[in-house]
Structure 1
């Protein structure tokens, strides 16, 4: 809609974690989305992925925060 950007999936192989790669990927995504006009960016994170939740929680110093107001609904249509 011209003002929101989304990060739907951020994945780093387990052996490549803890080296700053995910943070660099997020920084790059933010740069690209801002250049395309995004004023707010959201990221989908699966609750059961503790390492992912921990990663995103570690980005509060960069302005990221949890939005407990949101739920996601899905429907599989392929069977």
Structure 2
């Protein structure tokens, strides 16, 4: 694998992240990503969004959200030409380390129905599907 650097995202990454997720993420049934959403996340929790880069280019991401009660992992994405090299697993491990240090006793991964690649990635990381829960959403109107 190329020399990978892991680091927290910064505001200057916002535009590149939107482009990266449009290319490497699963985006069906999701609101459209906007740079200001990323900068708002970083203002709230500067270490929540972990990037993997090679030669300064984003090749992987994961968000490790912690609200003091629950730990959520989402936006796990790896650029297609860097998949199947352990990068996703590395991102998840680092995200879990961060959340564990904050006090999390359990992690959950948010994966859209029908995202078979996502299902396989989380299963390989030791996660199991929790069938007795459903997620309810409503736009904020903002």
2: CA distance, partners of 1:77 / 1:20: 36
Aligned to 1:24: 90
- Listed as ranges, the matches of 1:1-79 within 5 Å are 2-60=68-126, 64-78=127-141
The number of residue pairs the alignment matches comes to 76
2: CA distance, partners of 1:72 / 1:5: 15
RMSD: 1.8
After TM superposition, the score normalised by the length of structure 2 is 0.48
2: CA distance, partners of 1:25 / 1:46: 19
Q: Relative contact order, CA 8 A, sep 6+: which one is greater?
A: 1
What is the Cα deviation at residue 57 of structure 1? Answer: 1.5
Deviations 1:17-52 (A, max 9, x none): 101000000000000000001011111011211111
**Structure possessing the higher radius of gyration over alpha carbons:** 2
Identify the range of structure 1 (18-27 vs 2-11) with the bigger mean alpha-carbon deviation.
2-11
After TM superposition, the score normalised by the length of structure 1 is 0.82
Any gaps of 5 or more consecutive residues in structure 2?
1-66
Other structure's SS at 1:28 match? helix
Runs of 4+ in structure 1 displaced over 6 angstroms?
Answer: none
Any gaps of 5 or more consecutive residues in structure 1?
none
